[in-house]
Structure 1
Amino acid sequence: MHVGIIGVGLMGHGIARNVLLKGGYSLSFLDHPGNQPTEEILGLGASACASPAEVAAKSDVVILCVTGSPQIEAIVTGSEGVASALKPGAVVVDCSTALPETTLRMAEIIVKAGGDYIDAPMTRTAKHAHEGTLNLLVGGAATALEKVSPVLASFTEKVDHVGPLSHGHRLKLLHNYVSVGFMTLLAEAAAQAADADIDPQVFVNVLAQGGGASVALERLAPYIVEQDREGLPFFVSNALKDIDYYRGMCDASGARKTVADGISEALKAPVEAGQGEAYVPELVQLFRKGEMA
């Protein structure tokens, strides 16, 4: 199978290198200003394409790894979009974080174009993407998943088939609500501790030995103690986007979202202050007294 990828960012670059290195597949990618440097994957034999249609025309599997629903819709439905040139029987694998209704609409378009569509959002970090040990939450037909499983195996540690189409994205939004919510709460607490001149290592130790022990603490602790943000290279603006997607999903179903509204407000402040490209661990500093006054 020939693999195409659209979105060679922090996560997509890791996917691309492992499709080539571990999977041994031929790979085409969309040449785009938002890509990470592509010298490595070009050196491994990948080829650049000028449009999503060109990627689709070459590929049996098309992986989407972009920011969110507007980008997915443009990539699939544009005048030179994936649907306009899809190979018969090709499978589109949406690894982005998107609204469930987007998944259902795009799948309908891809099926009419003669292909299949699964939503397969990622959990874990850019480090895991680079190592080829991502986890995927897959929604869609088992037959479509089976067809692309060898490709997915090249960049994942675990692939969970979580239900029908759109359930991957529903669970990713639930996952990110909990994960980003925990980290936002923790960052606010760490900021208050710093304002009170509490030793940051003591703060981390107290939480780790009690009810604050969590993956959120593990990911933020390097910044709390040593101002090392690299353990979680995830933009605050993307965290806000994911929380607001979760809130939109709640609105569509009539679900309660009181806490989610509060998290959104907390994240909106640094974004509106021009700090949207800060990494999530840096919220510890951004939430400090007077920082965003």
Structure 2
Amino acid sequence: MQVGIIGVGLMGHGIARNVLKRGGFALRFLDHPGNQPVKELATLGALGCATPADIAAECDVIILCVTGSPQVEAIVTGENGLLSGLRPGSVIVDCSTALPDSTLRMGAAIHAAGGHYIDAPMTRTAKHAHEGTLNLLVGGDPADLEKVRPVLASFTDSIEHVGALGHGHRLKLLHNYVSIGFMTLLAEAAAQAADAEIDPQVFVDVLANGGGASAALDRLAPYITKGDREGLPFFISNAQKDIDYYRAMATAAGAQKPVADSVSDAISGAVQAGHGQDYVPELVTIFRKPGPQ
């Protein structure tokens, strides 16, 4: 199979290198200023393309790994988008974090053009993408998943079919709401502990040995104790986007969301203060009380 990828960022770069190295597939990628350096990919034989249409014209499987629904919609339906060059029978694999309603619309457009569409958002981090051990939550036709499973297996540890098209993105937003919510709460508590001059290692150990033990603690602990933010290279602005996608999904479903609203308020305050490109662990410092630290 000829594979294409659009979105060679922190996550997409790891996906691309494993499609090439572990999977042994031919790969084309979209040339874009937001890409990570692609020298390694080019050395492995990947070819750059100028437009999504160029990728669609050459590829049987196209992986999308971009920020959110506006970007996905532009790639699929925009000028020189996938629809203008789609090969019949091609499968679009949307690994982005997107709104389920948008996913259904994009899937319908691709199906009308003779293609197939599955949503396959990722859990885990850029480190796991680099190592080829991501987890995928796949929504869509099981037959479409089986067709592309060899490609997906090259960069994953787990591939779980979770239901119809859109269910992958719905579950990803539920997952990210819980994960980001936990980390936001933990960052606020860690800031309070630091303001009270509690030893950061003692704080982490107390939580780890009690009800505060969690993946969120594991990912924030290096920053809390050593100021190392690299354990979770995830922009605060992206965290806000994911929480607000969850809130939009909840609103559309008529669900209650008072906790999500509060998490959004906390994160948006950090973004409005100029910290959107800081990593999520740095909320621990951002939430400190004003004054000398």
Counterpart Cα distance in 1 of 2:14 and 2:120: 16
Report the counterpart of residue 110 of structure 2 in structure 1: 110
Cα distance, 1:113 vs. partner?
Answer: 1.0
Distance 1:239 1:36 in 2: 20
Instruction: Give the Cα separation in 2 of the matches to 1:140 and 1:67.
Output: 21
Please list the CA deviations of residues 186-229 of structure 1 after superposition, one character each: whole Å capped at 9, or x if unmatched.
Answer: 00000000011000000000000000000000000000000000
Which structure 1 segments of 5+ residues have no match?
none
Per the alignment, residue 157 of structure 1 pairs with 157
Q: Which amino acid aligns with 2:161?
A: H
* Map of 2:82 onto structure 1: 82
- Secondary structure, in 3 states, of the residue corresponding to 2:137? strand
Give the conservation status (yes or no) of the 8 Å contact 1:62–1:92: yes
Amino acid paired to 2:43: G
Contact kept in structure 2, 1:5 and 1:29, CA below 8 Å: yes
Distance 2:151 2:170 in 1: 23
CA–CA separation in structure 2 for the residues paired with 1:129 and 1:120: 14
- Aligned AA (1:49): C
* Length, aligned pairs only: 291
Query: How far apart in 2 are the matches of 1:35 and 1:288?
Result: 33
Measure the CA separation in 2 of the matches of 1:248 and 1:77: 22
Residue of structure 1 in register with 2:31 after alignment: 31
Who is 1:122 aligned against? 122
Q: 1: distance between equivalents of 2:87 and 2:233? A: 35
Check conservation: 1:6, 1:66, Cα contact below 8 A.
yes
Report the equivalent of 1:286: 286
The amino acid across from 2:124 in the alignment is R
User: For each residue in 1:224-269, what CA deviation from the matched residue of structure 2 results, as whole angstroms up to 9, or x when unmatched?
Assistant: 0000000000000000000000000000010010000000000001
Aligned ranges 1:106-255 → 2 under 5 Å? 106-255=106-255
SS of 1:37 mapped into structure 2: coil
Deviation per residue, 1:140-190 (Å, 9 max, x gap): 000100100000000000000000000000000000000000000000000
> What is the CA distance between 1:290 and its match in structure 2?
1.6
Matches within 5 A, 1:55-94: 55-94=55-94
- How far the C-alpha of 1:24 sits from its partner, in A, is 0.1
Q: Which amino acid aligns with 2:208?
A: A
TM-score by length of 1: 0.99
Q: Distance in 1 between matches of 2:274 and 2:33?
A: 21
What is the aligned partner in structure 2 of residue 275 from structure 1?
275
- Give SS of 1:158's match: strand
Partner residue in 1 for 2:12: 12
Runs of 4+ in 1 over 4 A off after TM superposition: none
Separation (CA, whole Å) in 2 of partners of 1:181 and 1:224: 17
Q: What SS class does the counterpart of residue 118 from structure 2 fall into?
A: strand
> CA shift at 1:63, angstroms?
0.2
Q: Which residue of 2 aligns with 1:52?
A: 52
The letter of the residue matching 1:247 is R
Q: Give the match for residue 261 of structure 1.
A: 261
C-alpha distance in 2 between matches for 1:277 and 1:33: 17
Distance 1:126 1:171 in 2: 19
Contact 1:84 1:113 in 2 (8 A): no
Distance 2:27 2:246 in 1: 33
Q: Give the Å deviation of 1:83.
A: 1.0
Q: Over the residues paired in the alignment, what is the CA RMSD in angstroms?
A: 0.6
Q: State the alpha-carbon separation in 2 of the partners of residues 84 and 288 from structure 1.
A: 51
Cα distance in 2 for partners of 1:30, 1:278 equals 26
Instruction: Tell me how far apart the structure 2 counterparts of residues 149 and 252 of structure 1 sit (CA, whole Å).
Output: 32
Distance 2:104 2:150 in 1: 24
Question: What secondary structure, in the 3-state scheme, does the structure 2 residue paired with 1:24 have?
Answer: coil
Query: What is the Cα deviation at residue 79 of structure 1?
Result: 1.5
